[in-house]
């Protein structure tokens, strides 16, 4: 919050949602999504359409790939705000 007060962008403002969704294979490749603690769990239809290199360039604080068709986006304390933006985009 200190940095937001003095003009620095928050973490969620730095994340490009369009690029993020593209890295997941596009809107049509996202089967489900849910918020969990400090992350967003996403299930994708085709793991072959997932582009990990593109995801790395999206300015996320972190991510994990627990299964072939699952991606966890680690956002942090602002996860609720980011999740609302993501849902509006999808």
- N-terminal to C-terminal alpha carbon distance within the chain: 28
Return the C-alpha torsion angle 11, 14, 17, 19, nearest 10: -130
Q: Which residues pair with 32 in a beta bridge?
A: 43
- The catalytic site residues sit at 36
């Amino acid at each position: 919050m200190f940095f937001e007060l003095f003009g620095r962008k928050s973490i969620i403002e730095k994340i490009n949602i369009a690029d993020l969704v593209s890295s997941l294979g596009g809107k049509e490749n996202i089967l489900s999504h849910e918020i969990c603690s400090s992350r967003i769990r996403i299930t994708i239809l085709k793991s072959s359409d997932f582009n990990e290199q593109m995801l790395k360039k999206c300015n996320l604080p972190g991510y994990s790939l627990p299964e072939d068709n699952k991606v966890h986006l680690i956002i942090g304390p602002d996860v609720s705000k980011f999740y609302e933006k993501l849902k509006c985009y999808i």
